[in-house]
């Protein structure tokens, strides 16, 4: 299974008015993130795209941008497209070099909510003028360009009065990309309101499929948010505007929180309110639970102090099934399948991991050259020779190389060379074949991430895939830019957190020493807004001047004074309150500058650019990354114990060797003593 990020681009066909909601709209999904080259006579690649259930589909088009080998024979080569296992279109490449584009209409009857799209074909070259025998060389290749995409045209089904219908539309990829979703809180939200809204945002970030776009958390007075079609209102009842109180009575929120749907003037609202901050936070956890929201098929829901709102637990045992059904490959010569393996985000690969591959395959192969090879992220780690004797039930295990860095996710690619003894002009015959069985699995030995760098962010703030006692120190008076900063931070944190069971706590004053020592801390805002950041200035890698209005030069970057007043920065410090904790500071000369810095760590694509512990960005979006720490480890003792664990066999062997050496020395001394050599040497010594 190949995991493909669904970065979408959205455009409407008509003006943005009430009638536009029933007009034809489009949503475009790329097939993959990078250009992919496939080698071999029989080539194949798989991708995925979605069809949202509230779309009334009108057309679906595959825009395939591709290039084939200049040596490929256009009369012999062909490409076939299949959706959800059904082939529906084949064509031959045009007799021209360079990038080609083919628009292919996808039959709507084949579409599901989640769709697999397979592009396969034969890229054949001649061997002599009149000889069509297949000679597989590096010249047999097909490149699928990253700009290939699936374009869906549809009209919208309007949401009904139920909570789950609103949730479906609110988190829809087209809604998010078109900025028609917003989470709104009172202008000067309380800490409880911020906690509830960030919990809701983090829950949404777990389920939305857009890569760079995000749902903003902002204020009820934000005019941009007021124009959104889908608005989630989060406030304690005493802060709830009168127009929303008309739909939730004071009696309704007696000792309980209420989640209530209503529509007005073409806008769709979901009100989340409660009489107390604790109950509001509980309701925020409910909204963050996708399972509960999808099950709430009625216009309102109540949440009490004893309501179960936690997401289901994730059990991590290190075993990952590569495929749930037998994955069949048909055709001669080179065939491949790729599988995506994801570790819990707060863990990384450790030594001792293995990949087990279970196979069945045809018995008519040329077993002199039939081979299975396993790749990890395009690096070959082991091969296995296929034999006729084991064709009905073959399996093999390969070990991952010691020290191989995998990160939190990686791709396992299984390549099969299904050679046949008799050449043929077509490689797509029904034989030979091979099947990758469901008992194939990755057994990954993992360890917690231990780097205090952006390459390990936000993992260092997570434990068991949820928030690890996260404390946010925010400005007393929040600006719209500060809300943008929070939205950016929790969009990425929520994208990584798979559970809502962790704790988030907001402070507008300096937390207690106990909290600072025990918890992971994020501080945001300018030094003038946030006294906590002002007190940390001498600990920052990029520090402010005495007035706290501009960043000043350091050993990594010379900063002209006026330029320093245009910079924002995100810095991962070793906490001065606990050396085994991280402290993230997102700040700048102005709140807008700080928000710009937060944007650099708002999604996986952006944060992947930075491997150090400090980011600086100016108002022209010129951004730089730096590393200041010499020791990147969060906990050196953890690293020492990991090294001891990894080398435990070596330590055993060294212990055995040392024991043997000691025994030999004792034996030699005993032999020398027995034969009187030591006594003779003593008697032969001259007297003083």
Rg (CA), the chain: 31
Question: In a 3-state reduction of DSSP, which class is residue 257?
Answer: strand
Q: Which residue has the higher pLDDT, 158 or 377?
A: 158
Is pLDDT of 538 > 90? Answer: yes
Within a domain: residue 151?
A: yes
Mean pLDDT of 595-604: 94
Question: In a 3-state reduction of DSSP, which class is residue 344?
Answer: coil
Q: Residue 250: its pLDDT value, please?
A: 95
Secondary structure element (H or E) that encloses residue 616, with its range? strand 614-617
pLDDT in tens, 507-534: 999 999 999 999 999 999 999 999 999 9
Same domain, 25 and 146: yes
The CATH number that applies at residue 234 is 3.30.379.10
Range picked from 304-313, 322-331, 566-575 for highest mean pLDDT: 566-575
pLDDT in tens, 21-56: 668 999 999 876 566 666 655 677 778 899 999 999
What DSSP string runs through 131-176? -------TT-EEEE-TT-EEEEEEEEPPP-SSHHHHHHHHT-HHHH
654 vs 92: CA distance, rounded Å = 63
Same domain, 475 and 622: yes
Residues 6+ apart with CB under 8 A from 543: 537, 551, 552, 554
Domain end marker among 156, 175, 209: 156
Secondary structure element (H or E) that encloses residue 43, with its range? strand 42-50
Q: Which of 143-152, 625-634, 678-687 has the lowest mean pLDDT?
A: 678-687
Domain end marker among 91, 121, 156: 156
Q: Which of 24-28, 104-108, 624-628, 657-661 has the lowest mean pLDDT?
A: 657-661
197 vs 349: CA distance, rounded Å = 34
pLDDT in tens, 415-445: 998 887 765 444 444 568 899 999 999 988 7
Same domain, 462 and 609: yes
77 vs 74: CA distance, rounded Å = 5
Same domain, 505 and 541: yes
Question: In a 3-state reduction of DSSP, which class is residue 238?
Answer: helix
Q: Residue 566: its pLDDT value, please?
A: 98
Pull the structure tokens for residue 332.
């001669």
557 vs 329: CA distance, rounded Å = 55
Within a domain: residue 480?
A: yes
Same domain, 150 and 173: no
pLDDT in tens, 604-649: 889 989 999 999 999 999 999 999 999 988 876 655 455 555 566 6
Question: In a 3-state reduction of DSSP, which class is residue 206?
Answer: helix
Same domain, 291 and 188: yes
Q: Residue 646: its pLDDT value, please?
A: 53
Mean pLDDT of 391-396: 96
Report which of 544, 609, 541, 539 is spatially closest to residue 577, judged by C-alpha positions.
Answer: 539
Same domain, 461 and 599: yes
For the full predicted model, state whether its pTM sits above 0.85: no
Q: Which residue has the higher pLDDT, 343 or 341?
A: 341
Q: Residue 372: its pLDDT value, please?
A: 96
Is pLDDT of 13 > 70? Answer: no
Q: 409 pairs with which residues across the strands? A: 342
Cis peptide before 458 (omega within 30 of 0): yes
Pull the structure tokens for residue 153.
């045209």
Within a domain: residue 448?
A: no
Residue 599 half-sphere exposure toward CB, CA atoms < 13 A:
19
Q: Residue 648: its pLDDT value, please?
A: 65
Pull the structure tokens for residue 72.
């490929």
- 265: phi then psi, degrees, rounded to nearest 5: 50, 45
Same domain, 249 and 374: no
Within a domain: residue 111?
A: yes
Within a domain: residue 444?
A: no
What domain count does the chain have?
5
Mean pLDDT of 231-252: 97
Report which of 83, 1, 85 is spatially closest to residue 323, judged by C-alpha positions.
Answer: 1
Strands 230-236 and 181-185: parallel
Residue pair 28/8 in contact (Cβ under 8 Å)? The answer is: yes
Is pLDDT of 72 > 80? Answer: no
What is the C-alpha end-to-end distance of the chain, expressed in Å? Answer: 86
Within a domain: residue 235?
A: yes
Same domain, 13 and 144: yes
Q: Residue 337: its pLDDT value, please?
A: 84
Residues 6+ apart with CB under 8 A from 40: 123, 136, 140, 141, 333, 334, 335
Same domain, 168 and 152: no
Domain end marker among 379, 409, 439: 439
Q: 587 pairs with which residues across the strands? A: 569
The CATH number that applies at residue 85 is 2.60.120.260
Percent of the chain with pLDDT strictly greater than 90? 57
Strands 55-68 and 149-156: antiparallel
Cis peptide before 432 (omega within 30 of 0): yes
pLDDT in tens, 193-225: 999 999 999 999 887 867 778 899 999 999 999
300 vs 283: CA distance, rounded Å = 12
Is pLDDT of 152 > 60? Answer: yes
Within a domain: residue 314?
A: no
Mean pLDDT of 288-306: 96
Same domain, 579 and 663: no
Instruction: Give the distance between the most distant pair of CA atoms in the chain.
Output: 119
Same domain, 373 and 237: no
Q: Residue 681: its pLDDT value, please?
A: 55
Range picked from 3-12, 282-291, 633-642 for highest mean pLDDT: 282-291
Domain extent for 350: 322-439
Burial call 487-512: b when 16+ CB within 10 Å, e when fewer: bbbbbbbbbbbbbbbbebbbbbeebe
Distances, alpha carbon 399 to alpha carbons 169, 339, 347, 354, 593, in Å: 45, 17, 19, 4, 48
What DSSP string runs through 288-315? T-HHHHHH--SSEEEE-TT---PPPP--
Residues 6+ apart with CB under 8 A from 41: 122, 123, 124, 134, 136, 140, 332, 333, 334, 427
Question: In a 3-state reduction of DSSP, which class is residue 19?
Answer: helix
Within a domain: residue 173?
A: yes
Residues 6+ apart with CB under 8 A from 356: 395, 396, 397, 439, 440, 441, 442, 443
């Amino acid at each position: 299974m190949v995991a493909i990020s669904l970065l979408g681009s959205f455009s409407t066909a008509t003006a943005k008015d009430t009638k536009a909601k029933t007009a034809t709209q489009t949503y475009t999904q790329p097939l993959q993130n990078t250009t992919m080259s496939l080698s071999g006579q029989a080539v194949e690649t798989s991708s995925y795209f979605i069809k949202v259930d509230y779309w009334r589909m009108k057309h679906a088009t595959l825009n395939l941008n591709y290039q084939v080998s200049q040596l490929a024979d256009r009369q012999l080569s062909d490409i076939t497209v299949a959706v959800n296992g059904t082939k529906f279109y084949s064509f031959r490449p045009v007799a021209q070099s360079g990038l080609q584009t083919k628009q292919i209409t996808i039959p709507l009857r084949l579409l599901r909510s989640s769709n697999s799209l397979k592009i396969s074909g034969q890229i054949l070259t001649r061997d002599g003028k009149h000889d069509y025998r297949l000679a597989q060389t590096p010249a047999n290749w097909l490149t699928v360009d990253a700009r290939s995409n699936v374009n869906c045209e549809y009209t919208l089904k309007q949401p009904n009065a139920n909570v789950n219908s609103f949730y479906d539309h609110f988190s829809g990829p087209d809604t998010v990309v078109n900025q028609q979703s917003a989470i709104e809180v009172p202008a000067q939200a309380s800490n409880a309101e911020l906690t509830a809204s960030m919990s809701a945002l983090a829950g949404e970030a777990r389920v939305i499929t857009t890569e760079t776009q995000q749902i903003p958390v902002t204020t009820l007075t934000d005019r941009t948010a007021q124009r959104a079609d889908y608005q989630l209102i989060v406030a304690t009842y005493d802060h709830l505007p009168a127009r929303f109180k008309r739909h939730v009575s004071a009696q309704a929120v007696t000792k309980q929180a209420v989640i209530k749907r209503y529509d007005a003037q073409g806008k769709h609202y979901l009100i989340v309110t409660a009489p107390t901050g604790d109950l509001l936070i509980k309701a925020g956890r409910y909204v963050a639970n996708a399972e509960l929201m999808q099950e709430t098929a009625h216009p309102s829901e109540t949440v009490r102090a004893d309501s179960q709102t936690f997401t289901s637990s994730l059990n991590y045992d290190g075993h990952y099934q590569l495929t749930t059904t037998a994955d069949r490959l048909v055709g001669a010569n080179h065939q491949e399948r790729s599988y995506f393996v994801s570790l819990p985000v707060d863990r990384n690969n450790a030594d001792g991991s293995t990949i087990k591959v279970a196979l069945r395959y045809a018995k008519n192969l040329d077993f002199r050259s039939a081979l299975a090879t396993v790749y990890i992220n395009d690096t070959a780690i082991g091969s296995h020779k296929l034999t006729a004797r084991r064709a009905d039930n073959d399996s093999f295990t390969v070990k991952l190389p010691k020290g191989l860095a995998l990160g939190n996710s990686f791709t396992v690619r299984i390549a099969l060379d299904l050679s046949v003894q008799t050449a043929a002009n077509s490689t797509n015959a029904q034989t030979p074949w091979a099947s990758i069985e469901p008992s194939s699995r990755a057994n990954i030995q993992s360890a917690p991430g231990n780097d205090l760098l952006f390459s390990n962010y936000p993992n260092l703030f997570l434990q068991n895939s949820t928030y690890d006692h996260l404390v946010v120190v925010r400005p007393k008076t929040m600006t719209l830019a500060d809300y943008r900063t929070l939205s950016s931070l929790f969009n990425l944190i929520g994208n990584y957190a798979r559970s809502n069971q962790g704790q988030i706590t907001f402070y507008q004053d300096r937390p207690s020493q106990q909290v600072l020592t025990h918890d992971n801390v994020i501080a945001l805002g300018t030094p003038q807004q946030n006294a906590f950041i002002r007190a940390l200035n001498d600990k920052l890698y990029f520090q402010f001047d005495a007035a706290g209005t501009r960043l000043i030069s350091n050993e990594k970057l010379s900063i002209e004074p006026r330029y320093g007043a245009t910079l924002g920065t995100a810095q991962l410090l070793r906490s001065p309150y606990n050396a085994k904790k991280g402290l993230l500071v997102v700040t700048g000369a102005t709140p807008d500058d700080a928000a710009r810095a937060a944007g650099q760590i708002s999604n996986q694509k952006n944060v992947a650019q930075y491997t150090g512990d400090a980011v600086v960005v100016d108002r022209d979006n010129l951004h730089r990354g730096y590393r200041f720490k010499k020791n990147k480890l969060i906990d050196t003792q953890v690293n020492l114990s990991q090294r001891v664990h990894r080398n435990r066999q070596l330590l055993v062997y060294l212990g055995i060797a040392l024991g043997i050496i000691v025994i030999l020395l004792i034996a030699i001394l005993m032999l020398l003593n027995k034969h009187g050599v030591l006594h003779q040497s003593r008697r032969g010594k001259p007297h003083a």
